[in-house]
Chains A and B, each alone.
Chain A
Amino acid sequence: MCSSGSGSASLACGPVAGRCICGGVISAVKVRGDDVAGPGPDLPFVLSLLSRRGTILMTGYVRLLVPADVGDDLVSDGTAVRPIGTRGGVLTEVVTVAVDTVNTGAAMVSVVTAAATCKRLAQAFIRRHRPADPNEVKLTITVGDHTESLDVDLTNPKAEEQLFDFFAAQLHVV
């Protein structure tokens, strides 16, 4: 179900701890607080690999451009905060999480790249699913020129798990 978009070849298929990155599981990367998992044996290699990607992988934080109601959901329980844009020009990379079926406007939120965040993201996407929406949707994550997508049936009981794996893989979180 997982497919790589443009530019994925240079990133997605490094053998890490016996598995492919786009497979969703790698050794642990730092996250915040209780979500921190211990570094695996191949962590240095992972870090060197991931550091080529940009900032988000090394810092443990990411800005997400998500559907507005998903953003509100994340902000409401403190999983995310709304970024404060200043006129001083300090920007960082933004990860766009889009659903191809419904356009309700987008909101920017800042999150910690932790397992709990991925779980909350997955729950939010399932929760925002309305009866009028199609069950099978295509989620797309874009980081720079790199795009990954996931086709998922939101009514499937395993959808949350699929979404979690997908987010965890793309945000490089275990």
Chain B
Amino acid sequence: MWSKVLLPRRRGAVDAWACFLVVTVAFIAVTTVARWNQNAVIYFMVLCAVVCFLPRFIAFGLAALAGPLGGVATWPQAGAALGLLLLAPVIISAGAAVCAAVYQTWREMNSPLERLAIARALRPWVQGAVMAGLVLGGLFEGGWFVGGAVEVAAMIIPLAAYRRSHYKTAIAAAVIASMVTGWSTAPLVLAGVSLSLVMFRVATGGLPRQWHPLPSPSLWRHPGAAIRCMRCDRRIARSDILGARYVLGAGTGAWIRLRIAFLDLEERMYQSALSFGQETGLPGDIKVPAQILRARGLSGTAQYDQARALYLQVLSAVTQKGRLYHYLVLLLAENDLAAGQPADAIQAAAWLAARPDWWCDYFMRQRALRVLAEYELDQGNMEAASQVIDQAMEALATNRAIIRLTDTNSPGKLVRNIYGSRGSMYIHPLRVESLSRAAQPRVEDQAEDAGDRDGWEPELVALVMAVARSSDDLVELYLSEARNAVADGQRGEALPLAARALMELDRTRYLLAAQSSRTSWSRRFQRVLDFALATAHAEQDHEFVAELLEFARVQTLPAASAEMSEDLALSTPPIILVNSRARLARPGEQNRPACVTLEHAAERAAGAGAWWLSYWAAHDWLYWALVAPSGVTSSGRVSFSATSALRKTLDELEWALPALLPGENPIEADFRLSKSPLLTDPARELVLSATLGSLLLPPPLIQAAARKRARDEERLRLAIAPAAALGYIPWSILVAGDPTASDPERLVDVCDWVLAPSAALVCHAAPGFRARAPLALAVADTTDDPGLGELPGARAQAAALPRTVRVLGGHHWSRDPATLTRLERELRAAGPDATVAFMCHAVRGTADEPSKGGIVLAPGGPGNAADQYDIFTPQAVFAMNKRGLTMPSQVILQACDTSALKDTTSGEWLTIAPAFISAGSREVVATVYPLVDLPGVDDPVTRAALRGDSLQAAVAQMQREGLTRWTSGHHTDSAHTPFVWGAYATVAIQPKTRTGASTGPSSPLAISASFMRVLGKAVRTCQRTRAKRLDSGYILGELLEDGSLSGVLDGAGNSMHPIAFAWTLGPYICTRYLHIRDQDPATPLRINGKTINVPGTVINAIRAGRTAAERDGLPLTPHHVVNALLSEPTAARRIVAYLGMLTRKRPALIHRAIEWELTEQISSRLTTWSEPARPGQHHDLVEAVLAHAFAETSNLNGDSGVTEGSAFDQPLAISNRSSGHEK
């Protein structure tokens, strides 16, 4: 075929003439330049005409050799003619054929992506041809020997830049090369080619603008705000979120706050939008955008129904079908898809995606296509998903600037780009790429070609998403990668990814003020949590399981402020450690309280030597984790599917309890309860309790309890942190011994157990000192509201109390009504060393807002209407506490289900009982299911309350006595049955001791291996300098180098940019040669004849880093130190600012990248440093620096981190060993 193409029988006239003219001109040019015989031209033209017009007669070209014989040409001239006659027509024909084929293919390509593929395939060839031509030209121009070689050598750098498509660099280098070689032509041609390419790029490289619904204020009425908004909007249009924030500053006007809320939403922070949307008195043109932002906030926090209603409300007010209309349709589609209502979502997204280009916004089309793709992925339709993703790619490629991003096939370049002034625009191709990758593995599996993941660098993509704060994309990415890892049998790699996803989700959780928002947000956790728990369980990573269980239970610490008065905002929780380690310790929270350990939490809740037993129901499993005082952890899981034994047993238990079943009538419940095994049938109760005990009590716990009793003749102390699914469990009666025995031991026989609120709350509550706390106040039967009814039993209880006890009641029977105001006054009068009993109704909150429930009090409003009541909620407890009222030491909540654990499906147990603990109470007797209204007061709990003794012990005594009576058949009254006394559970916290001994964890100095490595390198670097000064720039440089962040920022190895090594070499150059140094004087430290000068700034940063690391529950890392350096006016900060300016990267993004890297390391568990067998060359200096930094610290060594015998044991010894510190 090729012979016909290259040597056809006849050429077309155009081809033949073109070939003839080109070859002839070439020959004339060569002849002229070489000053050969001009007469040979005529002879050559004749032969050329034959060869070009009659290709089969190519052999006539040999006749050129006859020229020298005839005297019309020289031999070199004949050789050149022969070469041209034989090769040129063939080359030209081949080139023409290739061009024709390419042109034909190009015409057949319909999509930009296919054309892009062709361009990508041809580019190396074209570039190669151009480069070869230029090299030949250079050789020709400079001569075939030294001159040509010099010219070609001068072109090496510009050619390499041209080859890597760094055309600006190529221009500059080529001009310089031309100048060096006496303004030679070939480099200038290269500069011209590169310049034309640059101009083409500039002309076609405009990035699309992002539309937003934010109105601007009137320039005439609010000129300042208008200008600021205008500048902000320009940055928003190009997705420069940080730039937009910088412009807005700390403005407070409505338009400014609207934009701040918008920017927060772009970075997945929802609270400001939720709050702003509820504001009244907003200017008219802001109301609609504010509602849109609020709806976005609601949707972002998984409150889909409310969001949908709000979107529809706004949509109904939009009359013109312009951008705003499309925007709302898109938001509605995204909300519907997230809400699991794909039908509407698909319809709306398909409608948007089908709009013509000029009609639909570029980014809206992208988002619509992503909705479609995500739907197909959710449905498992990989082929359809791939088609939609291809469509999205093509839509992306309609913008040439985006094409150039995607065709690099290097996420590293995207990473570098996202740091630039173009903001987070580059996240869009990555989103599509992520979706593509999500669809790809499964397609690959089908094709049995699972290894093709070239060019995909999830770490870099994650970095991009992290610095852009695109948390939902990041979570999906991590989850997708984790699932792939599990599919590949690499569960160990999946765990850090799942941990990272959870940390990313956790970032938002505590920013939400309303409990309902947090509850719905917790649903977004569930998917990742299920996966993480299953993987950790499979990996037998018991510590991680325990950490996950506690992480699932929201670490509740009430905050002072809230979105609205009835909201229950949370403050930033502490980090929870298990065995002194954490994998979910998201760093960087400035307001985070000190970290806590589960071992310490158990001790605080249940006393010295207590164990911590936690549960969480995820998917079809109930996970448990048991943490011993020593930190040794075990974990496991029990099937919790609909047909599981546990589920059936829990159903049986609920059937036996005085709580209404779903759809049950109260009177129907009367008939059910008349047959309750807990009320009437000890034998059936034993079976039920034995089954529950075998399913819920871990064998290691039973064994430990047995060992404890055998060794110390004491019961094991136990803190139980139950899941919502176990909210009704009467823990005391669970069989904890041999279930086949006739009277087996129960949990209350072998353990002194308490219910434990979150570890954070337990460890940060501030109970009073232990003192006798006699019953001083009783609140009984506070309402006769028809919906609740009177409580004659409670009234009888109150009447039987001694006169020393103040009794508050309801308006219907008491002259001392228990109103909120009155209660607060009486609580103040009773003081903290008292017991208060609530013998009244309690109402539960909702599943969304469990903290809305509480104790029913008499109405305190005007008129005191008898058919109304107030609720003493957790918020009221916190409000009183904030007003300086410390809650009484002991509280008895003899009301229905005052634990309300059943409602805490979100994990946030901050109902009335934990609220009392948080507000200063020491022991709270709560109930785990509805309590029967009985009149008796002659029970151990009431007796202990009157004496002021511990309620926890009294409850246990009552339950043990009741159990004896019950199992022996001596129960004569319902009060003697577990139906009543089994409901009680104590929530407690150990009191402070008068001696002031600390019960908190010690504060050891733990240092990460990475910190020692970075500091060691920095010391080594500074030792090479004359000043021997450890400036902060060296530490910064080594950190960036150590974690390869500098490489990512520079694109080293993938970049020919002039400033490609700015972040790799920049800090060193800036510090050493440009003298950007810390301003304060340095302290010289001498050891073993070596000296190092350490600026005070660095010492302070190491100390501040340690404080931050302790707060994060981590060993000291270089990231903490560098963050401390960057937060102060140090040399490191100035260097980051200068380099940022040079490379057009915002310093805030460098902060985020450092934080991201640390988070990555945490999720994989940080390695703690230990003394090496062979210390490095400057190890003594490193120790000296640390000893100097921590000289004032009393407890420098801990159980982890520094081994015995190191310098940290005796920090001052270093100065003794050395010649001492010199000022």
Contact = CB atoms under 8 A, between A and B. Distances in A.
Interface of A: 55, 59, 61-63, 81-92, 110-112
B896 interface: yes
A110 B931 contact: no
* Interface size classification for chain B: 35 or more
Contacts of B895: 87-88
B788 A91 contact: yes
Given A89-B789, A89-B841, A91-B786, A84 B667 contact: no
B667 A87 contact: no
Nearest to A112: B671
A81 B789 contact: no
A89 B844 CA distance: 10
Given A84-B658, A89-B856, A59 B931 contact: no
B1043 interface: no
A86 B793 CA distance: 10
A108 to B, nearest CB: 10
Contact of A89 (B658, B667, B787, B932): B787
Given A87-B794, A87-B895, A88-B931, 15 more contacts: A59-B665, A59-B668, A85-B791, A86-B932, A86-B933, A87-B840, A87-B896, A88-B659, A88-B897, A88-B930, A90-B666, A90-B669, A92-B666, A110-B670, A111-B667
Contacts of B673: 81, 84
- Chain A CB within 10 Å, residue with most, of B667, B669, B787: B667
B843 interface: yes
Contacts of B667: 59, 61-63, 83, 92, 110-111
B674 interface: yes
Interface in B748-802: 785-789, 791, 793-794
Most buried by A among B658, B839, B894: B658
Nearest to B675: A81
Q: Which 3 A-B pairs have the closest CB atoms?
A: A88-B896, A89-B788, A61-B667
Contacts of B403: none
A84 B673 CA distance: 8
A90 B840 CA distance: 13
B933 A85 contact: yes
A113 B674 CA distance: 17
A53 B791 CA distance: 27
Contact of B841 (A55, A61, A88, A111): A88
B842 interface: yes
B286 interface: no
Contacts of B666: 63, 83, 90-92
A110 B930 contact: no
B1191 interface: no
A95 to B, nearest CB: 11
A85 B932 contact: yes
User: Which residue among B666, B674, B793, B895 has the maximum number of chain A CB atoms within 10 Å of its CB?
Assistant: B666
Nearest to B793: A85
B658 A61 contact: no
A82 B841 contact: no
A61 B665 CA distance: 8
Given A61-B667, A110-B670, A84 B932 contact: yes
B254 interface: no
Contacts of B931: 86-88
B130 interface: no
Contacts of B670: 61, 63, 81-84, 110
8 contacts: A59-B668, A63-B670, A84-B974, A85-B791, A86-B931, A87-B791, A89-B896, A92-B667
A173 to B, nearest CB: 15
Nearest to B979: A84
Nearest to A81: B674
Contacts of A112: 671
B891 to A, nearest CB: 15
Contact of B671 (A87, A91, A110): A110
A87 B674 contact: no
Nearest to A88: B896
B660 interface: yes
Nearest to B838: A87
A82 B676 CA distance: 13
Contacts of B932: 84-87
Interface string B643-677: 00000000000000011100001111111011000
Contacts of B786: 91
A112 B840 CA distance: 29
A87 B660 contact: no
A90 B894 CA distance: 16
Contacts of B788: 89, 91
